Structure 1
């Protein structure tokens, strides 16, 4: 059931993998999923640091492939800092052999198994593979020209926020101070206009143009409060109707959480685990945890990430963890787990006790993927 991609074309395939993945893999096991001859998805996991962890990783990969509709083939690709020269063969051979065996047992065609090491590349399934591998220059020569504005080739770099603009950061800090000291019925809040409503605020943030300091400050003020933060985050992904419903539900959830001496996040996880009849709604729980096949709107999320990147850049450090968590969740919703992890690391560095950052780090770190990753997008124009 194994079809080897010939060396003459495998380097072209490897040159294409970063474009499929949306970033340049580093120390990774990348599995390109196929439906027939078409690539239909990419899975990425960190390489196991211990040999005894290989089996668990392979089990996760094969289980994920089984959940992807229409997938019948796979090409695992190892990206490693090790070299052919270290052992006279392709590194991580045992891992790929185990994965190939388990995937074949599960009914998948293993089309090839490839390695990109620090000193060469090659196919684990090629009996004529030189002990030194093939030259990396073959891959480099086949790469498409990089786009000047494409930051996703490096998932960690894509998660970084711009340098803080001192003047704008000072204006945002002053606006936050004024909001913190203002009477909720006073002029400071009146000047926010329609943006006082968090649903209107999110839609305005997604519009082209720069974000005024007062608007950024109000967003940061709300993002520090779980009930508003989660509703805005879901609205970025799913639209204003979901956002409005999530805010309504969050208000009731906040009251219930406070009456039990819990945070909203603890309430969500506890009620989901207990399958409580009083469980928070799909919008604040199932969507938040990715336990639905309803797909978020990619264009909205891409725009939201750009907005959040700029707002976080000018935010005072104590106001950064909330929007960093929002941005991490949005990255995860698009399948960019490495970028999400880098953002959560940044949030936890600022506030090691931050509840949402801790829970997201645990949830995403478990290898959890949103259910919509396994549902086939509707064809354009389909009824």
Structure 2
């Protein structure tokens, strides 16, 4: 039996309210608590819930890996290692799939076995190993037993049922035709001298790209070229986070001019940003990553990782950091963010939202 005593913020309509202690003494109640601990974007995810005694207040989410079976032990050791850093007494493992399983076998059994084995190597007891699919839930410890329909979570006492939604992923490269168009545009922008104007006032082309209904190759090329400069990249990230004025202030700070910009803003210091604007910035960066030629993906990827982290999506941020380091192993901001993620640090506003009473 799983016993959880978690402090979670919730309200009947799904909004965050005051912190409440939630008791979960069954697998169904643990599954109900999962999106409140790790966020609703947990479809196609592995979620590890660490316990201190019978209490938890957080969870680790990562994408279900698509690697060869021989590579699973190393991957599992890394994932469990991230949980071990918070010195738990035990852990629960849940794999959330968006596939329907009917009466068939539970999916991703090799992934579950690898995580259990990694926990044993770390001397970390496993309290539960569950699967939640689109139509049912099951227990990897007793796969031969009948599983329960997902609909029963709606009538289970405890937190309100939140249907998992797919977690954002690292953008895949766009079609060769679209990437080639951006590559040609990069050459034209450099040859035309348009970059001189863009470098003089980077906030304008970035803001135009942010609000463009369709990202034309020349506009994408201009922003991609701009953010290859580390100082412009960081100031542009501030612009996507807090708006046009923040971008102007951040660029002034990077140039050594008098500025009210907060240097630690990208480390999560200060008030919560406008989430709608940040999500728009995520959308722009996802398009830039998809269109970027090899060797130019690291800069928009680390910007994307930063915004995901600032929104509380550490798992997706880590995937973007990994992809950035594959494109450029010496990417300084990616290395810094990797350290932040490994330490389990959160932006001030995210930590405040998740803090226990």
Q: Residues 75-119 of structure 1: CA distance to partner in whole angstroms, max 9, x if unpaired?
A: x75326446xx99xx999x8579xxxxxxxxxxxxxxx7652699
Q: Gapped runs of 5+ residues in structure 2? A: 6-21, 63-74, 96-110, 155-160
Establish whether residue 137 from structure 1 lines up as the match of residue 148 from structure 2: yes
Q: Do the aligned partners of 2:241 and 2:277 also contact (CA within 8 Å) in 1?
A: yes
Matches within 5 A, 1:1-383: 4-7=23-26, 10=29, 13=32, 20-24=39-43, 26-30=45-49, 42-44=58-60, 49=77, 57-59=85-87, 77-79=92-94, 81-82=111-112, 95=124, 115-116=129-130, 120-121=138-139, 135-139=146-150, 142=153, 151-152=166-167, 158-183=168-193, 197-252=201-256, 283=261, 285-290=263-268, 292-375=269-352
CA displacement at 1:133 relative to structure 2: 9.9
Q: Residues 156-206 of structure 1: CA distance to partner in whole angstroms, max 9, x if unpaired?
A: xx222144223322221112112333446xxx766x7xx973222232223
CA displacement at 1:345 relative to structure 2: 1.2
Partner Cα separation in structure 1 for residue 185 and residue 319 of structure 2:
29
Secondary structure at 2:39 match in 1: helix
Root-mean-square deviation (CA, aligned residues, Å) is 4.5
Q: Do the aligned partners of 2:38 and 2:61 also contact (CA within 8 Å) in 1?
A: no
133 and 140 in structure 1: CA distance in 2 versus 1, 3 angstrom threshold = farther
Partner Cα separation in structure 1 for residue 23 and residue 129 of structure 2:
13
Partner Cα separation in structure 2 for residue 209 and residue 140 of structure 1:
39
Partner Cα separation in structure 2 for residue 363 and residue 294 of structure 1:
19
Structure with higher strand content? 2
Secondary structure at 1:159 match in 2: coil
Q: Residues 228-269 of structure 1: CA distance to partner in whole angstroms, max 9, x if unpaired?
A: 11111111111122111001001128xxxxxxxxxxxxxxxx
Please report the TM-score for the alignment, with normalisation by the length of structure 2. 0.65
Structure with higher helix content? 1
Q: Do the aligned partners of 2:308 and 2:314 also contact (CA within 8 Å) in 1?
A: yes
Partner Cα separation in structure 2 for residue 15 and residue 231 of structure 1:
36
306 and 141 in structure 1: CA distance in 2 versus 1, 3 angstrom threshold = farther
CA displacement at 1:371 relative to structure 2: 1.4
Structure with bigger gyration radius: 1
Secondary structure at 2:308 match in 1: helix
